[in-house]
């Protein structure tokens, strides 16, 4: 039964990825303007434009170009950037690592912190500490990421000069220097996802606290923190895992704004730079990679929820 559910989730993920690839390709094809014209410039002759269109296969039907692009990706060929003439896979490799490095450290900070804050809020529910945590969460979720990023730059980079305002990382940079460079963008991402994870953790544990076995544990004389830690939290783990994984997916694909603010050399900055240049192959490749990561982490969240919840493993 479990293997069937897992196989269904994986099949659904593959179907969604194919559907997203169609949307990405169609979206880049209906953009206004002419790719050949943007490459050669306004002074290009009609003959030069026609030759370039033929060379790039732009005269072929859309479905032919789509399957050519899709089969190339399945073979590991992401194409060549129109502006730099460089292989996209080679150019993306280091930037993808930088984006994952930033997202992983944001997850390492935000996930445990959100779970601990959620448990503390339940322990002191309806009290000053719970209200303080809820107020901080409400304030954090009300502010957009770019505003939080600029506030952090102003206070910690400009006013106090504790961290750099431009987060430059590169191969060979010492680990501590890398951590200092990503401190501000990592904090921005953490504040962006912390609220949702913390509130969902609090709600999941509170839902379990209404159960009969919790009352039994209270009658046995266990402290409130022990009840939450030993009984409520383990039984609320399934929805918590789900919300944590979904927010991890957001961390990977939601770094675009943060990378632009801090000029971080990751996938988001790479995407924005080539959108401005109308470099369609790069936009398609990066968009598909972001979609693949997001769908993969959603599938992992579904599978983890199934494995962690006996009621989902045995629906009957």
What residues does each domain of the chain span? 2-74, 89-313
Q: What is the DSSP letter of 231?
A: I
Identify the pLDDT of residue 314: 60
Its pTM stands at 0.83
Among 297, 191, 192, CA closest to 242 = 297
Residue ranges of alpha helices (H) inside 30-87 are: 35-40, 46-56, 62-74
Could you tell me the CATH superfamily of domain 89-313?
MetI-like (1.10.3720.10)
Q: Report the chain (316 residues): mean pLDDT per 10 consecutive residues.
A: 80 92 87 70 78 77 87 87 85 90 91 90 89 86 88 93 90 90 93 87 87 82 84 82 82 85 91 83 90 88 74 58
Indicate the length of the chain as a whole number: 316
- Count how many Cα atoms sit within 13 Å of the Cα of residue 108 in the half-sphere of its side chain: 9
SS3 80: strand
Count of beta carbons in the 10 Å neighbourhood of residue 256: 20
C-beta separation of 255 from 266 below 8 A: yes
SS3 169: coil
Rounded distance between C-alpha atoms, residue 212 and residue 203, angstroms: 17
Identify the pLDDT of residue 224: 82
């Amino acid at each position: 039964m479990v293997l069937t559910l897992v196989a269904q989730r994986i099949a659904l993920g593959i179907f969604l990825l194919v559907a997203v690839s169609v949307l990405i390709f169609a979206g880049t094809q209906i953009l206004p303007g002419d790719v050949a014209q943007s490459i050669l410039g306004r002074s290009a002759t009609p003959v030069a434009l026609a030759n370039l269109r033929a060379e790039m296969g732009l005269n072929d039907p859309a479905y032919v170009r789509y399957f050519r692009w899709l089969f190339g990706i399945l073979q590991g060929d992401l194409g060549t950037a129109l502006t730099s003439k460089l292989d996209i896979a080679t150019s993306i490799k280091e930037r993808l690592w930088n984006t994952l490095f930033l997202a992983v450290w944001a997850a390492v900070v935000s996930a445990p912190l959100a779970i601990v804050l959620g448990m503390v809020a339940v322990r002191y529910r309806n009290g000053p500490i719970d209200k303080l945590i809820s107020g901080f969460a409400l304030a954090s979720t009300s502010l957009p990421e770019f505003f939080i990023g600029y506030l952090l730059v102003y206070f910690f980079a400009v006013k106090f000069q504790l961290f750099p305002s431009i987060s430059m990382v590169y191969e060979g940079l010492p680990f501590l220097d890398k951590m200092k460079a990503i401190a501000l963008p990592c904090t921005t991402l953490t504040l962006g996802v912390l609220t949702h994870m913390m509130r969902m953790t609090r709600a999941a544990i509170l839902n379990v606290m209404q159960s009969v076995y919790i009352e039994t544990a209270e009658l046995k004389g266990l402290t409130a923190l022990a009840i939450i830690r030993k009984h409520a939290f383990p039984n609320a783990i399934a929805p918590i895992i789900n919300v944590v994984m979904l927010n991890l997916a957001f961390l990977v694909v939601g770094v675009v704004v943060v990378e632009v603010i801090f000029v971080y050399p990751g996938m988001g900055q790479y995407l924005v730079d080539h959108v401005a240049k109308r470099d369609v192959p790069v936009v398609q490749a990066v968009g598909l990679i972001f979609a693949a990561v997001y769908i993969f982490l959603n599938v992992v969240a579904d599978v983890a929820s199934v494995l962690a919840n006996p009621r989902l493993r045995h629906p009957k």
